[in-house]
Structure 1
Amino acid sequence: MSRNLKVVEQAKADIMILARDAAERQTRQYQKQYNMKMNQMWQHEKTLPSDQRLTPTMIHMMEKRLTNIGARLEYIYKCKAQLFQLKTNIP
């Protein structure tokens, strides 16, 4: 393998690592924002009169839906991470 080709492959691997790290940082940032908004929503929910609050059934449905969305997003991120590793052979 020529030296130039090795340099190009290393640069490609470095770029992929940077992209992966940026995606992980962004994921953490979005998770933090989501948690903050959910906390705000639940705090607001507690201040409402009882006749305006969500019913236990509605809360259960929301929690179930959010769990499903979270699981799908986690699966997508894991697939993307595996794809990055396959493309660049990085640990």
Structure 2
Amino acid sequence: MIGTSDGWGVEKPSAEFFERVVAEAGCPAREVLYVGDRLDNDIRPAQAVGLATALIRRGPWGHILEDPAVDDRCLFHLDSLTELPDLVRKHNEAN
């Protein structure tokens, strides 16, 4: 499923966007992994509605913005999306 703020008529960092992600996923927020590249616009608001998060460090915002309280709550830290499947598999095997 691919959802966009334009298609849903609600923009990040609005809580309504992330609540829509949960609704579309059809499972509890804690079972959804949201991958974002901005702490302010993606990760912090996703965490606020209870989503698990993964931060991908890319583009200027991935390196300029710092917020250890938000960053430390990320389940994964990525340099590339290609890392994600293996990290998720290992995480699921351990839990």
TM-score normalised by length of structure 2? 0.20
More helix by share: 1
More RCO (CA 8 Å, sep 6+) = 1
Q: Which has the larger radius of gyration?
A: 1
More strand by share: 2
